[in-house]
Structure 1
Amino acid sequence: MPFVRRNAEDEVEAVFTAPEDGATEELPAGSEELVAFFGVGVLDIIKNDEWLQADLSLARVTEDLIEVLIEKGAIAFTDLPEGAQSKLIDRQGLRSELSYIEKLFGSDEDNYL
């Protein structure tokens, strides 16, 4: 987590990767104060990075392809390296959580604002 130094008004005036003189307070990486200090949110960076968007889309395609190959019996889940198995299990869990939240609150496409 980043370490911050504050000014007299208790605002973040500097950010460091390690404790420095006067900068011993840690803030979570996505905290509102850090976003305000840097002037840009992580989500803004992700949305505007074409390469990152392409990689995220390709990751989803790859995940779906693996799922289809397993369903059709072309490969077994256990054929995959342990690291890949673990990542796929984690993503399936996240996808299930997101699906549950969308069922409760709707998706962005539903325009419930």
Structure 2
Amino acid sequence: MVYVNRGEKGQIIGVFNSPQNDDSQLISPQAPELLEFLGQSNRQEDIQTILTASDMAMVRVIEDLVNTLIDKGVIIFTDLPEAAQQKLVQREKIRHHLSSLENLMNEDEGLL
């Protein structure tokens, strides 16, 4: 997801990785109006922002693909380079930790 600022007529006038002010709006990198804005933009920063957001989504797709290939026995985890193995294990630990935190938060909601 990326943040956009809009002009007086509601048109996108800027794209950012984080909110720039209270008026910044979260938008999908695949939103048609954002793609149209980028097609007309000459600012390298706008294009880089959307590319970075897209890269983050693509990382998850590739990670899921690797896990599927391993689960189906098409490749073996140890066939991957050591650096790739370490990154996949690290991301799995982080995701597990986040999931645990979310479960704790959901359980606590009923207490109040």
TM-score for both structures, normalised by structure 1: 0.51
* 2:89 is the alignment partner of 1:95: no
Q: Secondary structure at the match of 1:68?
A: helix
Structure 2 partner of 1:79: 79
Structure 2 partner of 1:105: 105
Q: Secondary structure at the match of 1:74?
A: coil
Structure with the larger RCO, 1 or 2 (CA within 8 Å, 6+ apart) = 2
Q: Secondary structure at the match of 2:91?
A: helix
Query: Counterpart of 2:104 in structure 1: which amino acid?
Result: L
Q: Secondary structure at the match of 2:57?
A: helix
Listed as ranges, the matches of 1:1-113 within 5 Å are: 43-44=18-19, 49-106=49-106
Structure (1 or 2) with the larger CA radius of gyration: 1
Distance, in Å, in 2 between the alignment partners of 1:87 and 1:56 is 14
C-alpha displacement at 1:44, in angstroms? 3.9
Which runs of no fewer than 5 residues in structure 2 stay unpaired? 1-16, 21-25, 27-45, 107-112
Query: Counterpart of 1:77 in structure 2: which amino acid?
Result: F
C-alpha displacement at 1:52, in angstroms? 1.3
Distance, in Å, in 2 between the alignment partners of 1:65 and 1:83 is 17
Structure 2 partner of 1:12: none
Structure 1 partner of 2:30: none
TM-score for both structures, normalised by structure 2: 0.52
Q: Which moved more, 1:48-57 or 1:93-102?
A: 48-57
Identity across the alignment (%) = 42
Query: Counterpart of 2:85 in structure 1: which amino acid?
Result: Q
Distance, in Å, in 1 between the alignment partners of 2:69 and 2:61 is 12
Task: Give a deviation string over 1:15-59, Cα, whole Å, max 9, x none.
Answer: xxxxxxxxxxxxxxxxxxxxxxxxxxx7448x7821111000000
